[in-house]
Structure 1
């Protein structure tokens, strides 16, 4: 029986990826690695360490672990200086309604301070469980983030649905053995083909979730 819903944050709850992409491109350029917005969207959902390793590899550069903290802090600094992040229209009301029946969780590759800031700003008191990129050793696309959320929720795998918008996030959920809905916020729907169901946009997602609340989906 469905008891819990697990949401990715960036691109599902808040419209933030354009600012993440801009910050990553700027900090990458500062260390001599040139990347495009498409490169960033391709690795969306990965924690910062994995993302940096991938970006350096794509640019044909060796990633030096001692650079990690400096680059990460610079990226966070840039992000917060430019970001004008907003929650997607209707999501707060939808989640408030869902909270009456389901336990809710967030699983994201973003750092804990940013996650907590957005949750406090846009969804105060809504989520029972939050898993940030710093809470796991192997982030998305590995299954650990979603397995940790299931464990923290204290549920069986068949009691939850994951809502994701990025290929690495979908891969993570499916490797964890979970049912996953994809919402192609920033990518082509075809890129989310591993998801069990792809819903075209947030309006359709919210209708689906309200239908679940009313018992119209199994």
Structure 2
């Protein structure tokens, strides 16, 4: 029986990816790599280390640990300085109700200070568990982030539902063996085809979650 709902943060709970992408675009430009927002949307879900390695690889360059740390810190600084984000309408009130019947968790690829700042501002006292990109050795699409959330919640994969919006996030959930519902916030739905179910937008997502049968 379904008893646990695990949410990605950026693009599912908050309309925050444009702000993330702009911070990355600026950060990479400082080391001579030119990208656009869509380059980040396509690899959304990966943690900061993963994003840097993927973008450097695409540029034909290699990122050593020193440059990875430098860029990770710089991106976080830019994001927190220019943060201009909002939660998706209706999500907080819905989750406040679902909290009475389900275990709720967040699994994000973002750094801990970024995740905490958003969750504390927009979803206070909602989630039992928050996993950031810095809490795992292997970020999405590896299953580790979702497996870690289940371990802390002490629940089984057959009792969980993941809500994602990014290709690497969907891969992570499916690699962990969890049923995954995806909403194409920033990418074409075709890129989310590995999800068990694709929902058109957040209005339909709220309707879907509102209709989930309570386990209690």
Shorter-normalised TM range: over 0.9
Structure 2 residues without counterparts, runs of 5 or longer:
none
Conserved in 1, the CA contact under 8 Å of 2:11 and 2:17? Answer: yes
Q: Secondary structure at the match of 1:191?
A: helix
Q: Secondary structure at the match of 2:124?
A: coil
Aligned position for 2:156: 156
Check if 1:4 corresponds to 2:9.
no
Deviations 1:149-196, CA, capped at 9 Å, x for gaps: 111110111001000000000000000000000000011111100000
TM-score (norm 1): 0.96
Between 66-75 and 137-146, the greater mean CA deviation after superposition: 66-75
Between 112-121 and 168-177, the greater mean CA deviation after superposition: 112-121
Deviating above 4 A after TM superposition, structure 1's stretches of 4 or more consecutive aligned residues are none
Conserved in 1, the CA contact under 8 Å of 2:101 and 2:214? Answer: no
TM-score (norm 2): 0.97
What is the 5 A alignment of 1:69-148? 69-148=69-148
Q: Distance in 1 between matches of 2:153 and 2:214?
A: 22
Equivalent pairs counted in the alignment come to 215
Conserved in 1, the CA contact under 8 Å of 2:102 and 2:214? Answer: no
What is the 5 A alignment of 1:26-41? 26-41=26-41
Aligned position for 2:24: 24
Deviations 1:81-130, CA, capped at 9 Å, x for gaps: 22211100000001001101001000000111111111111111100111
Deviations 1:18-49, CA, capped at 9 Å, x for gaps: 01110101110100111121110111010000
Q: Distance in 2 between matches of 1:214 and 1:146?
A: 22
Q: Distance in 2 between matches of 1:213 and 1:110?
A: 31
Q: Distance in 2 between matches of 1:199 and 1:69?
A: 36
Q: Distance in 2 between matches of 1:34 and 1:163?
A: 31
Conserved in 2, the CA contact under 8 Å of 1:101 and 1:213? Answer: no
What is the 5 A alignment of 1:186-205? 186-205=186-205
